[in-house]
Amino acid sequence: MAVSYHRPTKAIIDLEAIRQNIKQEINWSKKEVFAVVKANGYGHGLVPVAIAAAESGASGFCVATLDEGIELRQHGLMQPILVLSVISVQDVLLAIKYDISITVTSLSWLEKAQHILSEESFSSLLKVHIKIDTGMGRIGFLTSSDVLEAISFIDESPNFNWEGIFTHYATADQIDSSYWKKQHGCFEKMLSKLPYLPTYVHDSNSATSLWHHSQGNMVRLGIAMYGLNPSGRAMEEVYPLKPALSLESELIQVKYLTQGAGIGYGKTYETTENQWIGTVPIGYADGYSRKLQGFYVLIEGKRCEIVGRICMDQLMVRLPHEFPEGSKVTLIGRNGDEQITLQDIADQLETIHYEVACLLSPRIPREYK
Ligand SMILES: *Cc1c(COP(=O)(O)O)cnc(C)c1O
């Protein structure tokens, strides 16, 4: 992917906002914070976000894939790294090589891993976190007898280091906490049956840490670190979160069209009078969805409607009056007294801000301040 630096479209990432959000979380939770930097740091950039997180007190990282963890190691980050998903058993040697902790969800996986590891003469152990499925229905052990069996297997094996145990809650970001309590009760019960506890016991994503009293000594902090309210608009932030991402571009052409001029593919918009129309170099290939037709951008503090279909690489906006070519266009962030948040875009797309941030394509350069 050619990152397109020679185009005025860029995502600006405020690393100071990320640092502040993490510091507030450490003060709030009084737990260790592992920064969740999966999916290119929720679109904010894997390595720069991880470095900022470490500078502000995060003591480890969570990723979704082994490759994300390896990239952190290759950039010199030495903190503990946990892969939250299941890795292919044939990749255990890589996990050991890069000292990356992995998630275990079945005894059969451990047995297969053991088989591979026993053929090598490794001095280091594979660090594992046991995942409990308390009601998310995604990955994890379902019964305490299976967990106890896995722990005995690990204890008897020369190849594993049991480093952590964790679970994940499905409804921590919702006002109704009944299902959260059910899952939490299930995790507590599981913990009470263990012969001993590993170094890390963790059941908190951002929402659980903000709005629930829970177990454990570590928080897997994702969305709140990026300054976004995990619940969207449903629940109040317990400390002020500062959004880190803005998305900006410039008008590359400004033209005056007479009434009845067609705009974009399918000619879905026709100028209703003589109008100023501007073109912005961003499109759906950048992760700026076609469904945002009819939404708006900000120029000189004014809302300008997106008219006509959004193209792959460009979109058109209706201007209230002539603006100079090169005028700054804000697609996410503050401009004058106006602001467009990731949540505003999520509302328009009937999705969540997590998805909007992750969809911003690697073609858009990330600029750090
Ligand atoms: C992504 C993820 C997190 C982080 O969740 P946020 O809501 O972004 O804080 C935590 N734990 C697991 C298992 C995850 O997959």
Q: How confident is the model at residue 185 (pLDDT cuts 50, 70, 90)?
A: very high
Residues 160 and 297 in one domain: no
Residues 140 and 267 in one domain: no
Q: Is 23 within a domain?
A: no
239 is catalytic: no
State the pLDDT at residue 171.
98
Residues 288 and 358 in one domain: yes
State the pLDDT at residue 276.
98
Q: How far apart are CA 193 and CA 32, in angstroms?
A: 24
Task: For CA atoms 300, 306, 307, 310, give the dihedral sign.
Answer: positive
Residue to probe by mutation, ligand 1, list 32, 84, 165, 211, most atoms within 8 Å of CB = 84
E runs forming strands in 241-314: 245-250, 253-257, 262-263, 269-270, 275-280, 296-299, 302-307
Q: Is 25 within a domain?
A: no
Residues 251 and 202 in one domain: no
From atom 10 of ligand 1, which residue's Cα is the shortest distance away? 205
Burial of 139 from C-beta contacts in 10 A (0-12 / 13-18 / 19+): middle
- Backbone dihedral angles phi then psi of residue 287, each to the nearest 5 degrees: 90, 10
130-164 pLDDT tens trace: 999 999 999 999 999 999 999 999 999 999 999 99
Residues 193 and 257 in one domain: no
Coil, strand or helix at 114: helix
State the pLDDT at residue 186.
98
Q: How confident is the model at residue 120 (pLDDT cuts 50, 70, 90)?
A: confident
State the pLDDT at residue 97.
96
Residues 203 and 256 in one domain: no
Last residue of a domain, one of 181, 199, 226: 226
State the pLDDT at residue 262.
98
Q: Reply yes or no on whether the pLDDT at 362 is more than 80.
A: yes
The domain total for the chain is 2
State the pLDDT at residue 364.
98
109, 117, 138, 150 from 106: Cα distances, Å? 5, 17, 13, 7
How many residues are there in the chain?
Answer: 369
Which range of residues forms the domain containing residue 329? 245-368
Last residue of a domain, one of 198, 226, 254: 226
Q: What is the mean pLDDT of residues 10-31?
A: 98
Q: Reply yes or no on whether the pLDDT at 342 is more than 80.
A: yes
Among the residue ranges 10-14, 99-103, 193-197, 214-218, the one predicted with the least confidence is: 214-218
- The ligand 1 atom at the shortest distance from the C-alpha of residue 225 is 9
Q: How far apart are CA 19 and CA 46, in angstroms?
A: 15
Q: Reply yes or no on whether the pLDDT at 21 is more than 80.
A: yes
Q: What is the mean pLDDT of residues 22-41?
A: 98
238-253 pLDDT tens trace: 999 999 999 999 999 9
Q: How confident is the model at residue 203 (pLDDT cuts 50, 70, 90)?
A: very high
Residues 283 and 200 in one domain: no
Q: Is 238 within a domain?
A: no
Question: Of the listed 38, 42, 226, 288, which one is catalytic?
Answer: 38
Q: Which two tokens stand for residue 253?
A: 């052409």
Q: Reply yes or no on whether the pLDDT at 123 is more than 90.
A: no
Q: Is 13 within a domain?
A: no
Between residues 137 and 120, the one the model is more confident about: 137
Compute the mean pLDDT over every residue in the chain, rounded to the nearest whole number.
Answer: 97
Report CA 23 to chain centroid distance, whole Å: 18
68: number of CA atoms within 13 Å, CB side?
A: 26
Q: How far apart are CA 187 and CA 151, in angstroms?
A: 16
Residues 200 and 298 in one domain: no
253-309 pLDDT tens trace: 999 999 999 999 999 999 999 999 999 999 999 999 999 999 999 999 999 999 999
Q: How far apart are CA 347 and CA 12, in angstroms?
A: 22
Q: Reply yes or no on whether the pLDDT at 122 is more than 90.
A: no
Among the residue ranges 4-8, 121-125, 176-180, 300-304, the one predicted with the least confidence is: 121-125
Question: Of the listed 181, 193, 256, 265, which one is catalytic?
Answer: 265
Q: Is 234 within a domain?
A: no
State the pLDDT at residue 50.
98
Residue to probe by mutation, ligand 1, list 36, 132, 134, 180, most atoms within 8 Å of CB = 36
Q: Is the pTM of this model over 0.95?
A: yes
Using CB distances shorter than 6 Å, the residues near ligand 1 are: 36, 38, 84, 168, 205-207, 220-223, 230
- The ligand 1 atom at the shortest distance from the C-alpha of residue 84 is 13
31 is catalytic: no
Among the residue ranges 103-107, 119-123, 308-312, the one predicted with the least confidence is: 119-123
Among the residue ranges 10-14, 212-216, 315-319, the one predicted with the least confidence is: 212-216
Residues 157 and 283 in one domain: no
Q: What is the mean pLDDT of residues 228-242?
A: 97
Residues 157 and 270 in one domain: no
State the pLDDT at residue 124.
86
